A = this chain, B = another copy of it.
Amino acid sequence: MKKDELRKFLEAVKSGSINVDDAVSKFEGMPFEDLGFARVDHHRALRSGLPEVIFCPGKTTSQVVDIFESLARKARPVLATRATEEVHSEIEERIPEVRYDPVARMAFLPDPEIDEKGLVVIASAGTADIPVAQEAAVTARLMGATVETFWDAGVAGIHRLLPKLELLREAKVIVVVAGMEGALPSVVAGLVDKPVLGVPTSVGYGVSFSGLTSLLTMLSSCAAGVSVVNIDNGFGAGYIAALINRGTC
């Protein structure tokens, strides 16, 4: 119930066009939950800049396309994660301006009113981690963050990380993507005093356990400053990074 409606309702009580008993009944009948919904809804209306997201796996191409089209009518940005080329092509037939990042496997429509601000730095440990890192990068940009990336900075070649120190120090928040032993976030957090978001990836074999070891490493980090998201959750990391970055602008 919007403020205007409430005012009209109360004026109707005052004027007697609704008598008090009916008004009480109407309040009783007006589910508590709807009031709640209205407030939350209003709140959601304020969430401009947050993407409406479709997680593609488990949906048919035509389902994804329908949902994408439906969201595109209402809001920007729109984002479909883990989208195949085929999904992109089908969307493009209906919405020609849709964009596609084949590395991140994302189809999306940016919000033209969002300017990129702040600085999110995204690093990946190995080349195989790049798709997840790129998913974070695209997500953060869609949500209004300036994003800088560098790949292949694994701890086995720590000297490749050092030239990036200046960049890391300028970041508002750093996303570090790593599979296998997942040690890079610890090293980065030991070098700079910025929030570091660790993203374990399922890259590796044997006791990498599809990302579990990398996850446990990041959570056990001896460096303060590292928080962690689910394995391969590039979208989640980009989303949180953009939230943190937005708070700083």
List residues of A whose CB falls within 8 A of some B CB: 3, 6-7, 10-11, 13-14, 16, 20, 23-24, 27-28, 31-37, 39-41, 43, 47, 50, 53, 57-58, 125-126, 128, 154-160, 162-166, 169, 172-173, 180-183, 186-187, 189-195, 197, 200, 202-209, 211-233, 235-237, 239-240, 243-244, 247-248
Once bound together, how far apart are the Cα atoms of A47 and B218, in whole Å? 23
Q: Are B33 and A163 in contact (CB under 8 A)?
A: yes
Are B190's CB and A158's CB within 8 A? yes
Say yes or no: B207 contacts A230, CB within 8 Å.
yes
Q: A217-B213, A247-B244 are in contact. Are A158 and B191 (CB under 8 A)?
A: yes
Question: Closest residue to A184 on the B side, CB-wise?
Answer: B183
Contacts of A235 in B (CB 8 A): 224
With A13-B10, A24-B3 already in contact, the answer to whether A181 and B247 are too (CB < 8 A) is: no
Given A247-B172, A247-B173, CB of A126 within 8 Å of CB of B207: no
Whole-angstrom distance between the alpha carbons of A69 and B208 in the complex? 29
How long is the Cα–Cα vector from A248 to B195 in the complex, in angstroms? 12
Tell me, in angstroms, the Cα distance from A190 to B162 when the chains sit together. 14
A-B contact pairs, 25 of them (CB 8 A): A6-B24, A7-B20, A14-B16, A31-B165, A32-B39, A37-B163, A40-B159, A40-B191, A50-B193, A57-B205, A154-B223, A155-B155, A156-B187, A156-B222, A156-B224, A181-B222, A183-B183, A204-B220, A207-B212, A208-B216, A208-B230, A216-B216, A224-B239, A225-B243, A244-B247
Do B58 and A203 touch (CB < 8 A)? yes
Asked if B183 and A206 sit within 8 Å, CB to CB, the answer is no
Residues of B near A13 (CB, < 8 A) are: 10, 13-14
